[in-house]
Amino acid sequence: MKNRIKVYRAMHDLTQEGLANELGVTRQTILAIEKGKYDPSLDLAFKIARFFGVAIEEIFLYGDTAERK
Partner 1 sequence: MKRNTFYLLAGIVALAEVGIFWLSVDLERPILIQVAFVLGVLLLYAARRRVEDRIEDERTAMITQKAALRTLEVFWVVFFAVSLGGAVAAFSRPLGLRPPHPPLDPNATHMLVIRITDPDVLPFDLFGRFAVGQLVLLCLMIFLYVGFRMYYARKYGEWDTDEEQD
Residue 68 CB, shortest distance to partner 1, in Å, is: 26
As a whole number of angstroms, the distance between CA 65 and CA 52 comes to: 20
Report helix angle 27-34 to 16-23, nearest 10.
110
As a whole number of angstroms, the distance between CA 67 and CA 50 comes to: 24
As a whole number of angstroms, the distance between CA 18 and CA 31 comes to: 12
Which x/- pattern over 37-66 shows residues binding partner 1 (rule: CB under 8 A)? xx-xx-xx----------------------
Position among 13, 24, 53, 67 found at the interface with partner 1 (CB under 8 A): 24
Interface residues with partner 1 (CB under 8 A) are: 15-17, 20-21, 24-26, 28-29, 31-32, 35, 37-38, 40-41, 43-44
